[in-house]
Chains A and B, each alone.
Chain A
């Protein structure tokens, strides 16, 4: 005869095993195709992001929605290029205000290493010190196609991620 408590534990385990995986899949599937990006432009890469949102490339067919609305409803932060010393605290503030789960894409050489401005006195050498980055898009500026590829890579990552 097993104790009732242990029985509850067993049932819980069975339940988790039975519905945990489908639940994880379902929740991730829901997040995957409705990514709301924060509208924060940091530098010149934003013009290619604007072009990405045009009709020729149309990221909405992959599930990247338009960059409008409050950042407390957003789950994707795309950093478009150079982050200067004046903007860095702002960017951190923006990241901290976003609710979990959240993902970060670093777009452009500037956001990765400082790029062309690696020796400038006012530019951060990449945003890794500020926040964890999920996908890096190299290029100066990256073509819209590579933005779309980064989006697909990020979706792969979300699909495989654990439930939090």
Chain B
């Protein structure tokens, strides 16, 4: 069966024996720009083959033709919902290569922007997840509340989704004066909203029926498959790069890592739901703790050269552990940039999770992983 599905350029519906192979995506609303070839026996999925690569834009190769600073906006576009989080490790690696140290204020500014992006990214996920569980209210509410945080990102970085705010040497600009008031007002409102989210969605009996016990990923399986981020924490492992290997100034902040032992769609959702709350707490503390001083060590020149060498950095992006490996040969352009994205590692779990489940559960399981195809394909 597998060979039949693999050999066709566009396998649509193929029947072999009592098995039916159907292609979900890349156009189907349930999968985004990604295809899953699902082999069905009746209503039960007997095999699922992910077919990524519809958005492969060659970001790694293109990094070699642009210099270190020009790469910031380009790499940012691999995951637009989480732009600041995704570019964070690249900046850390480039700083290590160039021997620049960002001033303490910049470190906090980076935390603020990365956590704002985490909230925005989780809200976007919640909207899409809600609508694919058949809960339209859960599309409209997060999308509406997300605009509040979009406004905050706009006050910090200037644009809605592509701020390119974190640059080698610090942050691009300082916080505006009204940021604190605006942020506290938004957080106060959103913390009240979280209770309503819980009431209408996460404790909703219908949603519980559709997500509890669906797509169970055991703790040992999650570790063996190399799942990362909220999906790993949803399987009961308290693993978060922010705590395990603190970078920037995360060690000075007091926050908790939510984790649920169940490993099902509901647990993965609850982890992200609690992360919304904790990200707000992190931003509140960072705004308080932020020392005054310069927000950038020096303006990076477009032609800034890095001495020959290599650097690795990893951080916790919204979808999991994100790392970059940058090699420089002494010119102003990197010799090689290796991007290791969390989405791709979470995709490895898709065949295991879908197998044995119902066809109707495919969207629920797929979206509970918060898979972002553009990020996985690079």
Q: A residues touching B (Cβ–Cβ < 8 Å)?
A: 38-44, 46-48, 50-51, 53-56, 67-68, 71, 82, 84, 86-87, 89-90, 93-94, 116-117, 119-123, 140-141, 143
Contact = CB atoms under 8 A, between A and B. Distances in A.
Interface residues on B, range: 35 or more
Contact of A47 (B53, B65, B161): B161
B29 A39 contact: yes
Contact of A84 (B56, B79, B128, B140): B56
Nearest to B144: A55
Nearest to A88: B54
A50 B128 contact: yes
Interface string B47-65: 0000001111110011001
Contacts, number: 101
Contact of A44 (B26, B56, B62, B77): B77
Given A90-B26, A143-B160, 9 more contacts: A40-B27, A51-B150, A54-B140, A84-B55, A86-B56, A87-B54, A116-B74, A120-B57, A120-B61
Interface in B64-88: 65, 73-74, 77-81
23 contacts: A39-B27, A40-B27, A41-B32, A42-B54, A44-B80, A48-B160, A50-B143, A51-B143, A54-B143, A56-B147, A71-B27, A82-B55, A84-B56, A86-B53, A86-B56, A87-B33, A116-B74, A117-B57, A120-B57, A120-B61, A122-B56, A122-B58, A140-B162
Q: Is the interface of B mostly helix, strand, loop or mixed?
A: helix
Contacts of A41: 32-33
B57 A50 contact: no
Contacts of A120: 57-58, 61-62
Contacts of B65: 119
A141 to B, nearest CB: 6
A142 to B, nearest CB: 10
A116 B162 CA distance: 13
Interface of B: 10, 26-29, 32-33, 53-58, 61-62, 65, 73-74, 77-81, 124, 127-128, 139-140, 143-144, 146-147, 150, 160-162, 374
A34 B80 CA distance: 30
A46 B81 CA distance: 10
Nearest to A87: B54
A50 B28 CA distance: 16
A71 to B, nearest CB: 7
Contacts of B55: 42-43, 82, 84, 87
A157 B286 CA distance: 51
Contacts of A71: 27
A116 B57 CA distance: 10
Contacts of A87: 26, 33, 54-55
Nearest to B53: A86
Instruction: For the complex of A and B, list the 7 residue pairs with the smallest distance between their C-beta atoms, beginning with the closest.
Output: A54-B143, A55-B144, A44-B80, A39-B29, A120-B58, A87-B54, A56-B147
Contacts of A90: 10, 26-27, 54
B57 A82 contact: yes
A123 B58 contact: yes
A53 B140 CA distance: 8
Contacts of A43: 33, 55, 57, 374
A117 B58 contact: yes
B157 to A, nearest CB: 14
Given A53-B143, A87-B26, A121 B61 contact: yes
Contacts of A89: 10
Nearest to B141: A55
Contacts of B73: 116
Nearest to B159: A143
B54 A67 contact: no
A119 B78 CA distance: 16
Contacts of A55: 140, 143-144
A71 B147 CA distance: 30
A49 to B, nearest CB: 11
B57 A47 contact: no
